[in-house]
Chain A
């Protein structure tokens, strides 16, 4: 598996670093004190519609100037050194943005040339990129005659054709049916993991971010409410769910008793959720339950999902497909 590209120039391990970035459109504050670091691999940029994801991507591309704070992309400032930064970026916008009367191969070759590839290399790589996204046989068809799924693939092909260090994908599964969405997510995983490009996947769909991302930045109403690798966000991941027979009193009593043993737990109604931080926690829980004779309705291990993380951090609901 190819190694992810290093952020050129500075030896930094992060491809995007935002420090206290703010942005407003008129009187509407879109990004507020955004601070995050996006490293190698596939990173999900998750948030509800209007959370500021597309604005942040626009700033990464150097299309908008931050009102405050500092943004570094691949070691450079995307606003002041836009062309030099963008030459190493690939971008697939959220909206349908391809000329309908031009063949897919011509579009992709043209984008490769715009990013500095000589014409001959651009022609060859356009063909390779379209084969890679599954459009080898269809590559000479005008884009306007293609289905939504095929057009999304052309957008992905034009974003990767010049072998960029960082690929920005804005809602790449928009308009796709479930099967097409699965295929697209598999392609994105392939781009990020097998082809070794760093990918930022902007999406409002929890499940697809969780499915392909190595790390996540969660935006809520212009504020970063959580960020980090999936493992970090899940905090080790595993929990034990215990539903008791004795109602609310019993569950709060159990939480206190576990706390006395040094075990972190929280109660919601008659359910107690216990973090399985250490292997011995399971034994401690068993002993406390047996010693005090709690009636148990349900005892179930559970892996913390991104949805749990999101719901814990955000006030705005996001969609699940």
Chain B
């Protein structure tokens, strides 16, 4: 169909100087009608809830005050990467400063942003539904308790991924464009793969750990404070036990704000974070502890959500 023919078909009779044939006019009934269009099925419900939750976490479609925190967090996470790229660009060719990290060394710069953002994003995902009891309407939709939690976790993980994956990727690409990154396509792709794996691993771990406290309460403020306390408090206790009392390097594994980054060190084939004995922790212990804590956190959250009462 030509564009002219198309326009002609869509144009209402009588428009643009035409005269409508007699009897062609009709009154279209407006208002509620039965629906016979496309229905996308239960899977669409999971996607819809994940997208809705992601938008809510990011403050999208909400007043400006809800956007402040995500923007501030991204500022903290991305600003060092942008600064490093800028410094790299301004340096004379052939001169590099050692303090400019590669993607594997960038993760400590996002620690504060990550802990803060995960501790605020997870409560935003779970608590309002429980407090307003809207979770009852969700569970009366095609969602189940499991798919409800999966959608919520996916939304939190996607939001956290913007902090864990975005800045190191930006740094990697920025350095590569300045000819200061990994040399050769193979090396670039290897670092890119490490960045992806590290970003996803951090995102999954922080999502699972940060959802535990919000699954126990319907108060956002309590949940955020509790999550920060859990992540930072375990770090402090583990520091006292491992570095202060010298009870052994293994106690550093209990620091929930440190363990995910210990895992990242392994993904990037680095030596590992400092320990009291100056010997790196065995990789298997880091992997096993990360896996166990992530699974336990996920199971606790799932158990709490599966016990949500809707009607009785």
Q: Which residue of A lies closest to B61 (CB)?
A: A106
Q: Are A54 and B311 in contact, with the CB atoms below 8 A?
A: yes
For the complex, what is the distance from the CA of A115 to the CA of B62, rounded to whole Å?
23
Q: Are B39 and A87 in contact, with the CB atoms below 8 A?
A: yes
For the complex, what is the distance from the CA of A262 to the CA of B167, rounded to whole Å?
92
Residues of chain B within 8 A (CB-CB) of A55 are 311-312
Q: Which of B38, B42, B147, B311 has the most CB of A within 10 A?
A: B311
For the complex, what is the distance from the CA of A142 to the CA of B144, rounded to whole Å?
27
The B-contacting residues of A in range 63-120, CB under 8 angstroms, are: 63-64, 82-84, 86-87, 89, 91, 93-101, 106, 110-111, 113-118
Q: Are A82 and B144 in contact, with the CB atoms below 8 A?
A: yes
Q: Answer whether residue B2 sits at the interface, using C-beta atoms and an 8 A cutoff.
A: no
Q: Per-residue CB proximity of A40-60 to B under 8 Å, as 1/0?
A: 000000000000001101100
Shortest A127–chain B CB gap in Å is 10
Q: Answer whether residue A178 sits at the interface, using C-beta atoms and an 8 A cutoff.
A: no
Residues of chain B within 8 A (CB-CB) of A115 are 39, 45, 141-142
Q: Are B45 and A114 in contact, with the CB atoms below 8 A?
A: yes
For the complex, what is the distance from the CA of A100 to the CA of B142, rounded to whole Å?
23
Shortest A177–chain B CB gap in Å is 23
Residues of chain B within 8 A (CB-CB) of A117 are 35, 37-40
Shortest A26–chain B CB gap in Å is 11
Q: Answer whether residue A125 sits at the interface, using C-beta atoms and an 8 A cutoff.
A: yes
Residues of chain A within 8 A (CB-CB) of B140 are 61, 63, 86, 89, 91, 93, 168
Among A82, A125, A158, point to the contact of B35 (Cβ < 8 A): A125
Q: Are A87 and B34 in contact, with the CB atoms below 8 A?
A: no
Q: List residues of A whose CB falls within 8 A of some B CB.
A: 2, 25, 54-55, 57-58, 61, 63-64, 82-84, 86-87, 89, 91, 93-101, 106, 110-111, 113-118, 121, 125, 128-129, 131-132, 158, 160, 162-163, 168, 170, 195-196
Q: Answer whether residue B302 sits at the interface, using C-beta atoms and an 8 A cutoff.
A: no
Q: Are B35 and A83 in contact, with the CB atoms below 8 A?
A: no
Q: Are B42 and A83 in contact, with the CB atoms below 8 A?
A: yes
DSSP majority for the A interface?
A: mixed
For the complex, what is the distance from the CA of A54 to the CA of B128, rounded to whole Å?
23
Q: Which residue of B lies closest to A128 (CB)?
A: B32
Q: Are B41 and A116 in contact, with the CB atoms below 8 A?
A: yes
For the complex, what is the distance from the CA of A69 to the CA of B139, rounded to whole Å?
23
Q: Which residue of B lies closest to A89 (CB)?
A: B140
Among A84, A101, A128, A170, point to the contact of B311 (Cβ < 8 A): A170
Q: Are B40 and A116 in contact, with the CB atoms below 8 A?
A: yes
The A-contacting residues of B in range 116-165, CB under 8 angstroms, are: 128-129, 132-134, 136-144, 147
Q: Which residue of A lies closest to B63 (CB)?
A: A101
Among B32, B133, B147, B310, point to the contact of A96 (Cβ < 8 A): B133
Given the known interface contacts A128-B33, A132-B32, the answer about A111 and B44 at a Cβ–Cβ threshold of 8 Å is: no
Q: Which residue of B lies closest to A160 (CB)?
A: B32
Given the known interface contacts A97-B132, A100-B132, the answer about A83 and B144 at a Cβ–Cβ threshold of 8 Å is: yes
Q: Which residue of A lies closest to B52 (CB)?
A: A110
Q: Which of B44, B49, B128, B141 has the most CB of A within 10 A?
A: B141
Q: Which residue of B lies closest to A23 (CB)?
A: B312
Shortest B137–chain A CB gap in Å is 5
Given the known interface contacts A110-B52, A118-B38, the answer about A83 and B143 at a Cβ–Cβ threshold of 8 Å is: yes
* A-B contact list, 8 entries, CB within 8 Å: A86-B140, A87-B142, A93-B140, A96-B132, A114-B141, A115-B39, A125-B32, A163-B35
Q: Are B141 and A111 in contact, with the CB atoms below 8 A?
A: yes
Q: Answer whether residue B282 sits at the interface, using C-beta atoms and an 8 A cutoff.
A: no
Q: Which residue of B lies closest to A93 (CB)?
A: B136
The A-contacting residues of B in range 268-312, CB under 8 angstroms, are: 310-312
A-B interface pairs (CB < 8 A), number? 128
Q: Per-residue CB proximity of B42-60 to A under 8 Å, as 1/0?
A: 1011001100100000000
Q: Answer whether residue B31 sits at the interface, using C-beta atoms and an 8 A cutoff.
A: yes
Q: Which residue of B lies closest to A163 (CB)?
A: B35
Q: Are B39 and A2 in contact, with the CB atoms below 8 A?
A: no
Residues of chain A within 8 A (CB-CB) of B144 are 82-83
Among A54, A97, A101, A128, point to the contact of B133 (Cβ < 8 A): A97
Shortest A162–chain B CB gap in Å is 7
Q: Are B52 and A58 in contact, with the CB atoms below 8 A?
A: no
* Closest 7 A/B residue pairs (Cβ): A83-B42, A163-B35, A58-B311, A91-B140, A83-B142, A116-B39, A132-B32
Q: Are A114 and B143 in contact, with the CB atoms below 8 A?
A: yes
Residues of chain B within 8 A (CB-CB) of A82 are 142, 144
Q: Which residue of A lies closest to B142 (CB)?
A: A83
For the complex, what is the distance from the CA of A217 to the CA of B62, rounded to whole Å?
44
Given the known interface contacts A55-B311, A116-B40, A131-B32, the answer about A86 and B133 at a Cβ–Cβ threshold of 8 Å is: no
Residues of chain B within 8 A (CB-CB) of A163 are 34-35
Given the known interface contacts A98-B132, A131-B32, the answer about A86 and B37 at a Cβ–Cβ threshold of 8 Å is: no
Residues of chain A within 8 A (CB-CB) of B147 are 83
Residues of chain A within 8 A (CB-CB) of B31 are 128, 131-132
Residues of chain A within 8 A (CB-CB) of B137 are 91, 93, 97-98, 111, 158
For the complex, what is the distance from the CA of A117 to the CA of B49, rounded to whole Å?
13
Q: A97-B134, A128-B33 are in contact. List 15 more A-B contacts (CB 8 A).
A: A61-B310, A64-B312, A83-B147, A84-B42, A86-B140, A86-B141, A97-B133, A99-B132, A116-B45, A117-B39, A118-B40, A121-B38, A128-B32, A168-B140, A195-B32
